[in-house]
């Protein structure tokens, strides 16, 4: 199929489905100006970080946070917070599909809160969110503006404890409630849309794999949209290597505009 045929088929799948789940990675937000992690221009390949003396993966780890909190926040504030970013077409179309009771959940690896800003209600944030922060000692909660306004390490205004972003760092476990909910929605869905992820890093491939394993031979649909090809493309009914926002908008417009 050429691109137009794939988009037509994508729209047809949406029209036939009433229990759609979207699973997304960093590529969902690149069109909002937020860099991904592992591409040539991604955060992990930014040579300006050489002065830290360690890799970004090390900086964004549980151990590093507690051993070198000041350097962690220096990196975190400059590389992980994009508070001026706005939802793009992908976020907006997913929110519209939820409004029409087509899409039941967004499962995201992103921490930028853009799905909620676009209007999505049922968002499962596997890696947490920069929006929420908490004191490690008294557990008082703080919004992200408290972090950005602080000089260096942010400390609790109640007890003086160190504040930690409510994001999952390397070496930390995912929230088990989020994991359970993600698996439940994905395996019970009648259509899985995967976007903005190569499915090359655990646990992304695991979640997609569960859809196929538990829906084997059932009349359920799957679509993956990612700018580059993935190892799993041939497992999906449709694979499209284009901009996610553009593809979603075209499919949506064929149905509703």
Catalytic residue among 62, 91, 115, 127: 127
Pairing relation of β-strands 20-24 and 191-195? parallel
Three-class SS of residue 255? Answer: helix
Dihedral sign, Cα of residue 180, residue 202, residue 10, residue 114: positive
CA 151, CA 172: separation in Å to the nearest integer? Answer: 26
CA 255, CA 139: separation in Å to the nearest integer? Answer: 47
CA 156, CA 9: separation in Å to the nearest integer? Answer: 53
Among this protein's residues, is 127 annotated catalytic? yes
CA 251, CA 220: separation in Å to the nearest integer? Answer: 18
Q: Which residues, 6+ apart, have CB-to-CB distance to 168 below 8 Å?
A: 126, 127, 128, 174, 175
- Which two tokens mark 173? 């476990």
How many residues does the structure list for the chain? 257
The angle subtended at Cα 117 by Cα 114 and Cα 118, nearest 5°, is 90
User: Would you tell me the crossing angle of helices 244-256 and 3-16 to the nearest 10 degrees?
Assistant: 60
Q: Which residues, 6+ apart, have CB-to-CB distance to 253 below 8 Å?
A: none
Catalytic (active-site) positions? 127
């Amino acid at each position: 199929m050429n691109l137009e045929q794939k988009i037509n088929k994508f729209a047809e799948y949406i029209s036939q489905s009433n229990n759609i789940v979207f699973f997304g990675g960093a590529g969902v937000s690149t069109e909002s100006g937020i860099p991904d992690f592992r591409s040539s221009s991604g955060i992990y390949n930014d040579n300006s970080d050489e002065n830290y003396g360690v890799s970004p993966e090390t900086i964004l780890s549980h151990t590093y946070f507690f051993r070198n909190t000041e350097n962690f926040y220096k990196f975190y504030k400059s590389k992980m917070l994009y508070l001026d970013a706005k939802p793009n077409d992908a976020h907006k179309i997913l929110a519209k599909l939820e409004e029409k009771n087509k899409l039941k959940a967004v499962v995201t690896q992103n921490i930028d809160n853009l799905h909620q800003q676009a209007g999505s209600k049922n968002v499962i944030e596997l890696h947490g969110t920069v929006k929420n922060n908490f004191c490690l000692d008294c557990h008082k909660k703080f919004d992200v503006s408290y972090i950005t306004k602080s000089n260096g390490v942010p400390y609790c205004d109640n007890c003086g404890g160190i504040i930690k972003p409510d994001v999952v760092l390397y070496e930390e476990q995912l929230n088990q409630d989020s994991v359970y909910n993600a698996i439940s929605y994905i395996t019970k869905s009648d259509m899985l849309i995967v976007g903005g992820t190569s499915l090359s890093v655990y646990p992304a491939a695991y979640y997609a794999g569960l859809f196929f394993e538990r829906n084997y031979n059932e009349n359920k649909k799957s679509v993956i949209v990612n700018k580059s090809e993935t190892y799993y493309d041939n497992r999906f009914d449709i694979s499209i290597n284009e901009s996610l926002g553009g593809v979603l908008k075209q499919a949506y417009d064929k149905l509703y505009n």
